[in-house]
């Protein structure tokens, strides 16, 4: 069986129709720790932590559909893409998330996953405590 290029699950992107209300609910009811709330480029994103270990939750109003996206870190995005494509993976275009370049895909069953390379490790710390909304 081929080895997977995934290092760890870092983020769980969750679609949200009302990021502020959902973030408030996660904090008040579930005890999630707010990390940041950013509004930029017409989108709102809130990062919360439910535990000391990953994944962090990212509530985002710009995600289509209702399925969350599991975002896994890889050591080398281009190498991981090449390795997965050789196995029949059908990727979507590469895009950026605050922590680095990312590439998403859907499984035949409709699950959503993404891989990213951590090229900007300072971003979460820089955004920490930011409250745009």
Q: Give the pLDDT score at 111.
A: 93
Q: How many residues does the chain have?
A: 133
Q: Give the pLDDT score at 12.
A: 96
Could you tell me what percentage of the chain is helix, strand and coil, using 3-state DSSP and rounding each to the nearest 5? 20, 40, 40
Q: Give the pLDDT score at 127.
A: 94
Does any domain span residue 37? yes
* Distance from C-alpha of 3 to C-alpha of 13, rounded to nearest angstrom: 25
Does any domain span residue 22? yes
Q: Give the pLDDT score at 96.
A: 86
What are the strands, taking DSSP E only, across the chain? 6-15, 33-40, 43-49, 56-60, 69-74, 94-97, 100-106, 112-117
Does any domain span residue 1? no
Does any domain span residue 133? no
Residues of the chain with pLDDT under 50: none
Q: Which residues contact 47 (CB under 8 A, 6 or more apart)?
A: 34, 35, 36, 37, 56, 57, 58, 124, 127
Which run of H or E residues covers position 123?
helix 123-127
Q: Give the pLDDT score at 67.
A: 93
CATH number, domain at 123? 3.10.180.10
Could you tell me the residue range of the domain that residue 69 belongs to?
A: 6-127
Q: Give the pLDDT score at 1.
A: 66
Count of structural domains within the chain: 1
| pLDDT tens figures, 91-105 | 889 988 889 999 999
Q: Give the pLDDT score at 3.
A: 83
Does any domain span residue 107? yes
Torsion region of 49: left, alpha or beta (phi above 0 gives left; psi -120 to 50 gives alpha): beta
Does any domain span residue 84? yes
89 half-sphere exposure, CB direction, 13 A CA radius: 21
Contact indicator for 46, 34 with CB cutoff of 8 Å: yes
């Amino acid at each position: 069986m081929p080895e997977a290029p995934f290092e760890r699950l870092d983020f769980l992107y969750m679609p949200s129709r009302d990021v502020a209300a959902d973030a408030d609910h996660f904090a008040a009811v579930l005890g999630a720790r707010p990390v940041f709330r950013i509004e930029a480029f017409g989108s709102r994103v809130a990062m919360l932590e439910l535990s000391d270990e990953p994944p962090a939750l990212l509530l985002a109003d710009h995600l289509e559909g209702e399925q969350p996206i599991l975002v896994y870190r890889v050591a080398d995005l281009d190498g991981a893409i090449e390795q997965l494509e050789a196995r029949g993976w059908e990727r979507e275009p590469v895009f950026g998330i605050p922590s680095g370049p990312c590439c998403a895909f859907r499984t035949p069953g409709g699950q959503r996953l993404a891989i990213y390379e951590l090229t900007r490790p300072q971003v979460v710390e820089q955004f920490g405590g930011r409250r745009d909304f």
